[in-house]
Structure 1
Amino acid sequence: MTAFIDSTGLGVEAADRLATDRALQGVPLSALLAGFQTGRAHVLRELGGRLRQHEMLADDFVSALLELDGYANKLQNRLVEAYRETELRLARTAQAARVQALRELLKGGPVTGVVNTGLAEDRHYQVVLADVSDPRQARRAEAVLAETFCVTVDGLVCGVAVQLPDLSPVADVLAVVTPPVLPKDFGAVYQACRAALQTGRCRGLAGAVRLTELAVDLVTDGFPAMGRMLADDLLAGLAGTDEFHRLLASTALTYLDHGGRVDATALALHVHPNTVKHRLRRLGELTGFSPPEGSLAEALRWRWAVDTWIRSTGAWAASETASPPQSSRRNGSHLSATSSHSPT
């Protein structure tokens, strides 16, 4: 019986090669097993014919069939194992290739690389970039973004999805979230997110922050010298060492960030509206600041000056809240998904 099996060439090595080749060719496992069963039936018929020629006893015949059946089961199990192993290896290789393609696309690689990411070229995706460097924070961020196409780029955790999941579990981590964009724009979007993270760090922000909410800060941060000149020109009456002056400036920034609304400013700072009015009036006496009822450009000049002055004096600690005034309008808890999070 052993000699017959050896003559067929149906060894374990042959089963490995067959399963690996069929997996690489994309042949379904069911088709592979169907072919194996056909071959098994042929071998049984061939064996039966040879045994009849030798006029074997019934007991010997049954024993030979049982031996062959056991060996066939062993080969079938090995076929399945080898096929699954190859499938898993291919899946890992394919995923690694997708990750690398997305990483290159985010870092400004050619847009022709979109096809290698597995993303649809004509579909819009949101991108989130988390400001994490500590491995424990990175693992938390990756867990939250597990349902997205998640990669690590330049040490930062980045997720891509049609709609992002709820980011509130990592509310202590600054994460910049983009509007839906096409994959061809990922390079420019990633650079904007990197800059936005730096802007957010400078202002002590945490949690999910929409990229578009930081648009003004991103632009003004690009011209620091102009910000310093505006601060020197408009806020010459303030002393950076005076805690009350820092409080006035923080209140003014929150006021400007809330569209010049006293009630919204008071709510953000957890004070009475009259307190806000008093501080703004006192700031006006010291600097000439007045509620910007005129042009948007004038309001922007004041905001740029106040923001620069605050950051140069470390005035965040002077406000009633533990976080910077701007953070009151940038609560990331609302950035949660209401539908599928599938990246593709």
Structure 2
Amino acid sequence: MPEPSNEPPQPPAPPVHPHPATLRRLERSSGRLAADAIARMDATLPWYRAMPPENRSWIGLVAQAGIAAFTEWFRHPETPQAISTDVFGTAPRELTRAITLRQTVEMVRTSIEVMEAAVHEIAAPGDESVLREALLVYAREIAFATAQVYAQAAEARGAWDARLESLVVNAVLSGEADEGTISRAAALGWNSPDHVCVVLGTAPDGDSELTVEAIRRASRHAKVQVLTGVLGNRLVVIAGGSDNPLQVAKALIGPYAAGAVVAGPVVPDLLAATKSAQAAAAGLKACFAWQDAPRPVLADDLLPERAIASDPAAREQLVEEIYRPLEEAGSALLETLSVYLEQASSLEGAARMLFVHPNTVRYRLRRVTDVTGWSPSDVRSAFTLRIALILGRLADGDPRS
């Protein structure tokens, strides 16, 4: 019997390429093909000529890597190749921002055209159709790889922008907005409009990204800038470029879920938007107390409900914007308004209590409207005026005030 051999088993011989002559020609021609592709790009693509030398050098490396990847593809047609890594991995990630997808497609098309034009020169006799077919398959794969690279870059950019926008919106709502917030907003395209307001409401169920995109479409139609996000169950929109918050809220109301939508007052800039956000949040909390509230509704129209719900800003606003101006206008206005409200909004009843003519009461009530902007003859305005009078008296009667 033969003695067993102690020699290690030899690895199997590599498979013989079915088209060795064409492969050798392709390997020898790779450098020339890359140079021809770069020369054609320089001759036919104006954007390539206008680029700085550093970016042109990176594009040249991508073209060389693409042709080298095709050579490897042709050498091992049975093995799937990671084209996106082989070709685009030679360039920095910033290159996807330096050149657009359209420009990348033009670059790839130019390189493929140069390779296709050289098929008859490179292929061994009888291998022309084989090489051309391999080039067509490779062109399809490189097109998919190009789309994948830009899709990944867009997704990464979109995810980063979403996180950045969420930071800005949260800073405004929490009262922590600072110069860093303005810088982050500027990176998102916010160009510091003169008029800013915050609109709050309930976010709909489902994908929050779809809701945010719906807000963006509505804002483009309304010609306002927005920073938006879904925080918990609330849909927050910071809108800039309009001095009419109610009009802005009506234009953006579509994506909100059923329920109250409250627009805060207009403020001059993003740093002051916290005031608008806090007013809108307080209004959203107290809105259910006004069952007939319109949708959307201004936070300032909810001042009495907000004041009753212990919103200090609403209480101060009612005192400073209604009670104090009436107090400064003279005791007659305060007394007439108080009596008129106590007499169930009756001109004759108030006149009898004040021992004046009804026309005098009517004149003084018009003066109340001029001073405060609220009409005592309107039921809703009368309610607001009554709350303001109560708060003003409490402030005057408090020794600490």
Q: TM-score range by the shorter chain?
A: 0.5 to 0.7
Provide the secondary structure at the position in 1 that maps to 2:249. coil
Q: Does structure 2 retain, via aligned residues, the 8 Å contact 1:121–1:184?
A: no
The residue number in structure 2 matching 1:241 is none
The residue number in structure 2 matching 1:115 is 183
Change (3 A) 1:217 1:307: farther
Output aligned runs, 1:94-133, within 5 Å.
94-112=161-179, 113-117=181-185, 118=188, 119-130=190-201, 132=202
Structure 2: which 5+ runs fail to align? 1-18, 31-67, 71-80, 220-225, 242-247, 316-336, 377-381, 392-401
Change (3 A) 1:32 1:9: same
Provide the secondary structure at the position in 2 that maps to 1:173. coil
- Matched residues in 1 for 2:182 and 2:100: separation? 28
- Give how far 1:116 is off: 1.7
The residue identity in structure 2 corresponding to 1:123 is D
The residue identity in structure 2 corresponding to 1:91 is G
- Matched residues in 2 for 1:120 and 1:134: separation? 29
The CA deviation string for residues 298-335 of structure 1, in whole angstroms up to 9 with x for no partner, is 98997128989xxxxxxxxxxxxxxxxxxxxxxxxxxx
Structure 1: which 5+ runs fail to align? 228-255, 263-274, 309-344
Q: Does structure 1 retain, via aligned residues, the 8 Å contact 2:264–2:300?
A: yes
- Matched residues in 1 for 2:253 and 2:147: separation? 43
1:190 matched to 2:277? The reply is yes
Output aligned runs, 1:179-258, within 5 Å.
179-181=265-267, 182-204=269-291, 206=293, 207-215=295-303, 218=306, 222=310
1:25 matched to 2:97? The reply is yes
Change (3 A) 1:37 1:80: same
Change (3 A) 1:141 1:34: closer
- Matched residues in 2 for 1:122 and 1:75: separation? 44
- Give how far 1:16 is off: 5.4
The residue number in structure 1 matching 2:244 is none
Deviates more, 1:14-23 or 1:295-304: 295-304
Provide the secondary structure at the position in 2 that maps to 1:184. coil
- Matched residues in 2 for 1:69 and 1:217: separation? 71
Change (3 A) 1:173 1:300: closer
Q: Structure 1 vs Structure 2: percent identity of aligned residues?
A: 13
- Give how far 1:193 is off: 1.8
Output aligned runs, 1:242-281, within 5 Å.
277=346
Change (3 A) 1:144 1:200: farther
- Give how far 1:75 is off: 1.4
Q: Does structure 1 retain, via aligned residues, the 8 Å contact 2:196–2:273?
A: no
Provide the secondary structure at the position in 1 that maps to 2:259. coil
Provide the secondary structure at the position in 2 that maps to 1:87. helix
The residue number in structure 2 matching 1:82 is 149
Q: Does structure 2 retain, via aligned residues, the 8 Å contact 1:128–1:159?
A: yes
The residue identity in structure 1 corresponding to 2:131 is A
1:164 matched to 2:221? The reply is no
1:66 matched to 2:149? The reply is no
- With the length of structure 1 as denominator, give the TM-score of the two structures: 0.54
The residue number in structure 1 matching 2:54 is none
- Matched residues in 2 for 1:9 and 1:167: separation? 50
1:174 matched to 2:260? The reply is yes
Change (3 A) 1:172 1:116: same
How many positions carry a matched residue from both structures? Answer: 250
The residue number in structure 2 matching 1:40 is 112
- Give how far 1:28 is off: 0.4
- Matched residues in 2 for 1:121 and 1:183: separation? 7
- Matched residues in 1 for 2:103 and 2:388: separation? 72
Q: Does structure 1 retain, via aligned residues, the 8 Å contact 2:290–2:305?
A: no
- Matched residues in 1 for 2:103 and 2:209: separation? 41
1 or 2 for the larger relative contact order (CA 8 Å, sep ≥6)? 1
Q: Does structure 2 retain, via aligned residues, the 8 Å contact 1:102–1:114?
A: no
Rg (Cα) greater in structure: 2
- Matched residues in 1 for 2:282 and 2:232: separation? 13
The residue identity in structure 2 corresponding to 1:185 is A
- Give how far 1:144 is off: 7.8
Deviates more, 1:160-169 or 1:86-95: 160-169
- Give how far 1:126 is off: 3.0
1:304 matched to 2:387? The reply is yes
- Matched residues in 2 for 1:122 and 1:104: separation? 18
RMSD: 4.9
